[in-house]
Amino acid sequence: MTSASLQSRTPTRHFRTDRAGAAFLVLGGIAFFLGGGLHPKDSGSGDKLAQLHDMLVSSMWYPSHAVLLAAMALIAAGIIAIRRPGHLEPGMARLAGIVAGISVLATFAMLVHFFAATEASAIADGDSTFVIEVHTWNETIVNPLWGVAIAALALTGGLTRTVGNRIVMALGVVGGLSFALATATIAYTDAFDPLFPVSSLLGVWAVAVGVIGLVRHA
């Protein structure tokens, strides 16, 4: 096999990988935006457990969280794809690898969160179960970690123009940090709940990064 034939094959391999990662990000971003819009709202009355119960018994709990679960899985897949060797410089690849790992963890946490509605009766009775405990850890630890990780990827990727650019960078930073702060405090206070709609910018960032990736490799 000649060096010329090797060179002719290499761009094609990278092209397909980049397109796959970009497409995953576009689909994941759309799903994240839609899932947030479908998420049930609480009544705004009672303590935090009562408000959680309001959401768990909503008919929109499962549809919204199915979409959000798909969103996190697709975004994780997109980040895994774009961090493969040859697509990013070493430092950026390491960061993307860390964010990919956190994204996979957040996806599994969202799967447990999806089934939290099965414990609605226990919450109504004031009881605690394993699923409820994991749900709390997910909300206050894993989700904030994921939001900060996405913000870091958006900032670094935007400044280096390797993941998105400096124009869309702000979408990921603001959306990621808003999601992190809103989820970290939801179990304790309503003060930062208005940040949840703002966190939908994370989905817009993912779509923008994906579209940029598709255009660059068209």
61-82 and 3-38 are packed helices; what angle lies between their axes, rounded to 10 degrees? 160
Q: How far is CA 186 from CA 58, 124, 138, 139, in A?
A: 18, 18, 11, 8
Q: What is the pLDDT of residues 64-86, one digit of tens each?
A: 999 999 999 999 999 999 887 66
Task: Indicate the average pLDDT of the chain.
Answer: 86
Place 41 in a pLDDT band, splitting at 50, 70 and 90: confident
Confidence of residue 218 (pLDDT cuts 50, 70, 90): low
Q: How is residue 99 written in tokens?
A: 């964010």
The pLDDT of residue 35: 95
Q: pLDDT tens, 83-129? A: 876 677 888 889 999 999 999 999 999 998 898 888 777 777 777 77
The pairs formed by 55-60 with CB atoms below 8 angstroms and a separation of 24 or more are 56/116, 56/117, 56/119, 56/120, 56/123, 57/117, 57/120
CB 153 within 8 A of CB 95: yes
Maximum Cα–Cα distance across the chain:
72
Give the whole-number percent of the chain exceeding pLDDT 70: 87
Hey, how many other C-beta atoms are within 10 angstroms of the C-beta on 212?
18
If one counts every other C-beta atom within 10 angstroms of the C-beta of residue 204, the result is 18
Spatial separation of the C-alpha atoms in residues 157 and 151, rounded to whole Å: 10
Which tokens hold the place of 52?
């959680």
As given in the structure block, the two tokens for residue 62 are 């499962």
Instruction: Specify the pLDDT at position 44.
Output: 66
